[in-house]
Amino acid sequence: MAPGKGWLDWLLSEERRQGRRRKSLPLVAYYWDGASPVAHPVRDASSSGLFLLTEHRWYPGTVLAMTLQHTAVGAEDPQRAIAVNARVVRTGDDGVGFEFILPEKGKEQQLPGMPVPLINKKRMKTFLDSVGDGKIGDTKGQSLIEFALALPLIFLLILNVVNFGGFFYAWITVSDAARAGANYAALGGAAATMPSTPTYTQLSAVITDEIASLPNKATLAMSACQRQPGKSATIFGGTAACSFTLNADPESSTYTVIGVQVQYTYVPFFSAFSFPNLGVHLTLPPTAITQSAQMRSLQ
């Protein structure tokens, strides 16, 4: 994995290696090929393997004993080098990729025919944690900082998901309430066998019942209007002018148009990170929802 990438970058990437891949390391590898040992640069490495810059090309599955040496510390440092067995997994134009043969702690063993005993995973990680820039392998601090920086954003995202979910629920509920009110008003008085035309109070009760599941119900405001054939739009059941515009009806001489408008102020469940006096809302601010529905009747 590229240096500087954190857990979030790793999560969004398609690469899923077992260990963090580190590049440009002060690390070389020695292996015996029948001649004098030569230091071969390590292009990148992780706790599970490395890529070695070498002219040799072994077949996949070949096991080599090699010594990894930290070039940025003095020869007197006992942690300067470590011996490990590695298996060839791939070859490239400039080198060979190896995976380390690392058993769990307490299960170390000698491979048949190999002169170097296996080390365990913990020791390999400790060695890599001491290579490059002082502590190139120790990314726990970096990951912790990244997590601490990302946590408020994740928390804010969760709050917004809840708030927007509540907003859409309120939007749908108010829309349904307006439709139910218009339908209730349009059915009354259409025929002799039908119920009588409801009053404005009855219509208001129907709409109030429809939004009973919403919080902040005190902000509900309802308007109902009707436009009888050949007349101007008036308040439903009264003579005052309508407070909103009814749609044009191509058969206005035959049908009565009844419209219901419902207004409701949605207040988010969580208002954290908001500064109303500054006009700053990091989550959804209180929002007015206005929905209307119109139906025709034979009244």
Angstrom distances, CA of residue 57 to CA of 32, 41, 95 = 14, 15, 7
Residue 223 has pLDDT above 70, yes or no: yes
Any residues with CB less than 8 A from the CB of 217 and at least 6 apart, and which?
208, 211
pLDDT over threshold 90, residue 34: no
What are the pLDDT digits (tens) for 104-145? 655 555 555 544 455 777 777 777 777 654 444 445 566 788
Instruction: Show the tokens assigned to 54.
Output: 């070498």
Helix (H, G, I), strand (E, B) or coil at 68: strand
DSSP string computed for 149-187: HHHHHHHHHHHHHHHHHHHHHHHHHHHHHHHHHHHHHHH
**Residue linked to tokens 């969004």:** 12
Q: Where are the domains of the chain?
A: 7-137, 147-297
* 138 or 88, greater pLDDT: 88
Q: What is the pLDDT of residues 148-171, one digit of tens each?
A: 889 988 988 898 899 999 999 999
- Token pair 């390590």 is found at 42
Other Cβ atoms closer than 10 A to 234: 15
Q: Do 207 and 220 form a contact (C-beta atoms < 8 A)?
A: yes
Question: What pLDDT was estimated at residue 71?
Answer: 82
CB 23 within 8 Å of CB 64? no
The whole-angstrom separation of Cα 163 and Cα 231 is: 44
In a 10 Å sphere around its CB, with 0-12 CB exposed, 13-18 middle and 19+ buried, how is residue 170 labelled? buried
- At 137 the pLDDT is 42
Task: Give 7-137's CATH code, choosing from 2.60.40.730, 2.40.10.220, 2.40.50.840, 2.40.128.20.
Answer: 2.40.10.220
- pLDDT, residue 16, reads 46
Predicted pLDDT of residue 228: 85
Amino acid at 70: H
At 151, give phi and psi (nearest 5°).
-60, -45
